[in-house]
A and B are shown apart, each in its own frame.
Chain A
Amino acid sequence: MVSVMEKYFDISYIWTALPSLLPFLKVTLFVSSITILSGTFLGLILTIFKLSHNRLLNKIGNGYTTIIRCTPSIVLLFLVYYGIPKLAEEFNVNLQNINTAIFVIITFTLQFAAIMSEVIRSAYQSIDKGQYEAAVSVGLSPFQAYWRIIFPQALVIALPNFGNGIIAVLQEGALAYTIGFIDIVGKANLMITNNINAHALEIYIALAIIYWALSLLIEKFFSMLEKTFSKGKKTLETT
Chain B
Amino acid sequence: MSQGLNYEFLIDTFFVALSGISITLLVTIVSLIVALPLGFLLAMTRINRIPVIQRIAQIYVSFVRGTPIIIQIFIIYSSIPLILKAFFDKYNIQLDIYKINPIWYALIIFSFSTTALLIEVFRSALGTVKKEQLEAAYSVGLTTFQAYRRIIIQQVLVVALPNLCTTTVNLIKATSLGYAMSLPEITLNAKVAANMGYNYVEAYLDIFIIYLILCMTVEYIFKVLEKRLSKYKMANA
Contacts and interface: CB of A to CB of B under 8 A. Distances in A.
Interface in A170-218: 171-172, 174-175, 185, 200-201, 204-205, 207-208, 211-212, 214-216
Interface in B13-71: 62-63, 65-71
B79 A67 contact: no
Nearest to A67: B212
A171 B174 CA distance: 12
Nearest to A8: B82
A83 B201 contact: yes
A71 B67 contact: no
Interface stretch (A42-50, A73-81, A153-161, A224-232): A73-81
Contact of B71 (A9, A67, A174): A174
A148 interface: no
A208 B67 contact: yes
A70 B68 contact: no
B39 to A, nearest CB: 19
A79 B201 contact: yes
A89 interface: yes
A14 to B, nearest CB: 12
A208 B113 CA distance: 14
B204 A79 contact: yes
Interface stretch (B83-91, B125-133, B151-159): B83-91
A167 B68 CA distance: 9
B176 A72 contact: yes
Contacts of A174: 68, 70-71
Contacts of B214: 70
Given A70-B215, A71-B211, A205 B204 contact: no
B102 to A, nearest CB: 17
B176 A204 contact: no
Nearest to A214: B66
Nearest to A177: B70
Chain A interface main SS type? helix
A71 B173 contact: yes
Given A90-B4, A201-B78, A75 B68 contact: no
A89 B141 CA distance: 74
B94 interface: no
Nearest to B205: A79
A73 B212 CA distance: 12
Contacts of B82: 4-5, 8-9, 201
B177 A74 contact: yes
A84 B231 CA distance: 48
B66 A175 contact: no
Contact of A70 (B69, B85, B216): B216
B118 interface: no
A75 B79 contact: no
A69 B204 CA distance: 16
B71 A204 contact: yes
Contacts of B67: 171, 208, 211-212, 215
Taking each of B68, B176, B204, which has the highest tally of chain A beta carbons within 10 Å of its own beta carbon?
B68
B86 A5 contact: yes
A208 B201 CA distance: 32
Taking each of B62, B71, B86, which has the highest tally of chain A beta carbons within 10 Å of its own beta carbon?
B71
A212 B85 contact: no
Given A75-B207, A83-B205, A185-B71, 18 more contacts: A3-B89, A4-B89, A5-B83, A66-B216, A67-B212, A69-B169, A71-B211, A71-B212, A72-B177, A75-B187, A75-B204, A75-B208, A75-B211, A82-B204, A83-B204, A90-B4, A204-B74, A208-B71
Interface of B: 1, 3-4, 62-63, 65-72, 74-75, 78-79, 82-83, 85-86, 89-90, 169, 173-174, 176-177, 179, 187, 200-201, 204-205, 207-208, 211-212, 214-216, 219
